Structure 1
Amino acid sequence: MKKTLALLVLVGAAAAAVLIAWPRARHVPAASPAAWAATPDNIARGAYLARAGDCIACHTARGGAAYAGGRALDTPFGRLYGPNLTPDRETGIGDWSADDFWNALHNGIARDGRLLYPAFPYTNYTRVTRPDSDALFAYFRSLPPKRQPNRPHELRFPYDQQALLAGWRLLYFRPGVYAPQPARGAEWNRGAYLVEGLGHCSACHSTRNRFGASGDTLSGGLIPSIGWYAPSLASSGEAGMKDWERAHIVALLGTGVSPRGSATGPMAEVVARSLQHLLPADLEAMADYLKSLPAGDSPAPGPGEPASEQVLLEGRRIYEAQCVDCHGADGRGKPPAYPPLAGNRAVTLTPAVNAIRMVMNGGFPPGTAGNPRPYGMPPYSHELNDAQVAAVLTYVRASWGNAAPPVRGSEVNRYRAVSGSD
């Protein structure tokens, strides 16, 4: 690890000189000043795009002014803070130009020339077109200015070094606007643009290497530091959506609930703050693209060592005492209020962290216009110990056609330690 870091620093030092010319080399000019003018049309379009990109999630502290920054983002390398996007001249983007904004979005380079950390998903946003970037800029410039100084990041050495970040970029980042595929049609291309670009779905739904670089494959991965698993969107076996009805995908994205399952955990926030506000045509386009994704490289894990009869009996006892009223003796539930457990990828995924967290902490789908009074699940961490949580989940994962590996008490205990993090 130390040798690899040292190599990255050396590579970064060499890359830094190259990156000095990067803003000019990767610049795409605006059509005209009218593209970012504060017109009602530009501002409305930018507001819609900001919601599509879920910008508010990282740029608004809990209880703080919208887009004024300050929300903490924990990573394996330390803590970062979302910056102020309001047009305050001293602490926000009031002195930025449309070119400065484009350079940050497309190239990951701040107005003062600093390299931005990829917790800001410019690796996805680089696909955004210049007209959409200009509309976003017009919208952010229309917000009430909020004087709120940006908090400095709290990264451990050497991850706080710009030379190391330059090396990372040389290895893992290639700027480029989304290039439509004419053979696929307008709807598919719109869906690809939203999923791969503004929606930055791969930021959570792809595995990251030890340096935080994403494979951008939508093949699923554990979200660092918060203890939730973002399932694969690219395989029908483990978790993908190829075998979903398109209407069910649209319902899940737009309302947070569907006959196939509900959005919980971090995804509930994405639906509430971003996806529910998208036009039906854009949700349809995203569904079209997601259904077209090829199967992932890795097959779904097998059932492994079977659970003991004693564990299954204990799990059934707990299920009949605590779960059957909502989810049914046959595991079919009463969707959309009570999602099915039979054939539900959320309970059969490996690792089983999402199911563990739901049993321990409970939770709600998002409250949305299409689901204004969501039904929630109560927490059971105060009633069930680790072995009992493992037993009931093992029973669910082995019943009604489900065939997932058993859950161990030690696994429950491991995820219990991060169960309070969001």
Structure 2
Amino acid sequence: MRFMQRPVSAPQQAGSPSAKPVAAGPAGAATQIITKGEYLDRAGDCVACHTEPNEKPFSGGRPMATPFGNLYVPNITPDDETGIGRWSADDFYKMMHTGVSRDGTLLYPAMPFASYTKVTREDSDAIYAYLMSVPPVKRPNRPHELRFPFNKRELLIGWRTLYFKEGEYQPDPKQTVQWNRGAYLVEGLGHCAMCHTAINALGGSSESKEFEGGMIPNQNWYAPSLTSNREAGLGNWPIKDITDLLQVGISHRGTVYGPMAEVVYNSLQYLTDADVEAMAVYLKSLAPRDTEPLPTSQARLVQPAVMEQGRQIYTQQCAMCHADDGKGHPPSFPPLAGNQSITMASPVNSIRMVLNGGYAPGTAKNPRPYGMPPFSQILDDQKAAAVVTYIRVAWGNAGTPVAPNQVNELRKLLPE
């Protein structure tokens, strides 16, 4: 997980702009700006990080585990003492655009300012107006708990030099209005690249490898490549299947689970059909960077006894929903045959689904989702590895076998 810094409320400077949004025209105009800001805030999924379970929205305090220690998200309600009540619209835009807090402190990049820098001033002001309209909550911010030397903020100067490029999104004149809208949402407020791009030991990512997939640190989920036909490349997906996956959480091509299910639940389900379609158009256009032909079935690499054990477990536990031929009953029960998320080089997500189970998000267009039960208490490491191996190589799937020790490593991470 990347770094994030907690905004610090400094005393109001004499003569500084008023922090509270003031309507320049009729009250209806101010209401429209706040409504727009609420929509954009949803697009940025701000509530997911800035709200701790069972606490008031945006009141902060949620711990974010990183390889460098714990970060604690800030209170961004308009409380004057513990939130951002004394911030001006200029302060807020500076934070979004430059990654610098009101008092000049550099933000840790778990706050996705490297993406939010692309947000326009008009949209930033609308989000600010919305946040200033929510009920203030007096909840002091917790200091971060980062190991040395990562607790030294001066190191962020080097990080910013390597990984941060400041600037609002500039439309591509060669592309359509719809494509540019999708690019603005995906690259900016959606900050999709934060998960779908591998992060190195410094907590940074290479622009040249953007959207090529990677492990999400400390969450132990793999965010698949959006540019590879071997993973989640969307070039051959119908637009409707992409929009359904983003907005509904299920489609005829697959279902979202894990961190992506949270994104759909908290954010994407609330976007307009036009905006979701724009995002789909942009994602579908991402240039494929994996030009090698898809491999053929790897069943020959599996010992016959393991294959048979996996088949028997699948027949007993899985076939009722996913069908004997692996084609499932979409969209409620996703197909496993020909499913690229099953055959990715990393088997992490497949193993986690067998061990943990999970639900697609409950959304407005899918209010009662079907779920998958956990099998961690039923299947030992060998049996779990056998059934995951089976679904990765059966029906012509081109995945590779899974070893029991790979299952065991993830099992150790499950909550007791």
- Is TM more than 0.5 here? yes
Deviation at 1:236, TM superposition (A): 2.3
Q: Is the 8 A contact 2:163 2:206 kept in 1?
A: no
Partner of 1:219: 212
Deviation at 1:416, TM superposition (A): 1.3
Matched residue type, 2:39? Y
1:11-38 Cα offsets, whole Å, 9 max, x none, are: xxxxxxxxxxxxxxxxxxxxx9849x98
Partner of 1:42: 33
Query: Does residue 324 of structure 1 match 2:308?
Result: no
Cα separation, partners in 2 of 1:157 and 1:297, compared to 1, 3 Å = farther
Cα separation, partners in 2 of 1:191 and 1:381, compared to 1, 3 Å = same
Q: Where does 1:108-187 land on structure 2 (aligned, <5 Å)?
A: 108-187=99-178
Matched residue type, 1:117? Y
Deviation at 1:300, TM superposition (A): 8.1
Other structure's SS at 2:395 match: coil
Cα separation, partners in 2 of 1:44 and 1:300, compared to 1, 3 Å = farther
1:42-94 Cα offsets, whole Å, 9 max, x none, are: 10000000000000001000111001111111111111111111100000010
What TM-score does the superposition give when structure 1 sets the normalisation length?
0.89
Deviation at 1:334, TM superposition (A): 0.6
Gaps of 5+ in 1: 1-31
1:105 to 70, 84, 96: 96
Q: Is the 8 A contact 1:237 1:299 kept in 2?
A: no
Partner of 1:394: 389
Matched residue type, 2:219? I
Matched residue type, 1:399? A
Matched residue type, 1:262? T
Q: Is the 8 A contact 1:127 1:197 kept in 2?
A: yes
Deviation at 1:307, TM superposition (A): 1.1
User: Following the alignment from structure 1 to structure 2, what is the Cα–Cα distance between the partners of residues 137 and 309?
Assistant: 61
Gaps of 5+ in 2: 1-21
Other structure's SS at 2:309 match: helix
Query: Does residue 237 of structure 1 match 2:242?
Result: no
Query: Does residue 290 of structure 1 match 2:275?
Result: no
Partner of 1:20: none
1:202 to 193, 200, 207: 193
User: Following the alignment from structure 2 to structure 1, what is the Cα–Cα distance between the partners of residues 204 and 294?
Assistant: 24
Q: Where does 1:353-368 land on structure 2 (aligned, <5 Å)?
A: 353-368=348-363
Other structure's SS at 1:250 match: helix
Deviation at 1:351, TM superposition (A): 1.2
Deviation at 1:238, TM superposition (A): 2.6
Deviation at 1:237, TM superposition (A): 3.0
1:134-193 Cα offsets, whole Å, 9 max, x none, are: 000000000111000111111111001011111111121111110100110100000000
Query: Does residue 349 of structure 1 match 2:344?
Result: yes
Other structure's SS at 2:82 match: coil
Partner of 2:400: 405
Other structure's SS at 1:399 match: helix
Q: Is the 8 A contact 1:202 1:214 kept in 2?
A: no
Q: Is the 8 A contact 1:235 1:293 kept in 2?
A: no
User: Following the alignment from structure 2 to structure 1, what is the Cα–Cα distance between the partners of residues 237 and 194?
Assistant: 23
Q: Is the 8 A contact 2:311 2:390 kept in 1?
A: yes
Please list every run of at least 4 consecutive aligned residues from structure 1 whose deviation after the TM superposition is greater than 4 angstroms: 32-35, 297-305
The alignment covers a number of residue pairs equal to: 389
2:376 to 377, 381, 395: 381
Query: Does residue 62 of structure 1 match 2:53?
Result: yes
Tell which deviates more after alignment, 210-219 or 403-412.
Answer: 210-219
Q: Is the 8 A contact 2:327 2:337 kept in 1?
A: yes
Q: Is the 8 A contact 1:357 1:419 kept in 2?
A: no
1:260-305 Cα offsets, whole Å, 9 max, x none, are: 1101001111000100000000000000001100112585885778
Q: Is the 8 A contact 2:23 2:30 kept in 1?
A: no
Q: Where does 1:267-306 land on structure 2 (aligned, <5 Å)?
A: 267-296=260-289, 306=301
Other structure's SS at 2:222 match: strand
1:106-142 Cα offsets, whole Å, 9 max, x none, are: 1000011110000000010011011000000000000
Matched residue type, 2:404? G
Partner of 1:18: none
Identical pairs, percent: 55
Query: Does residue 93 of structure 1 match 2:84?
Result: yes
What do you get for the CA RMSD once the two structures are aligned?
1.8
Q: Is the 8 A contact 1:59 1:84 kept in 2?
A: yes
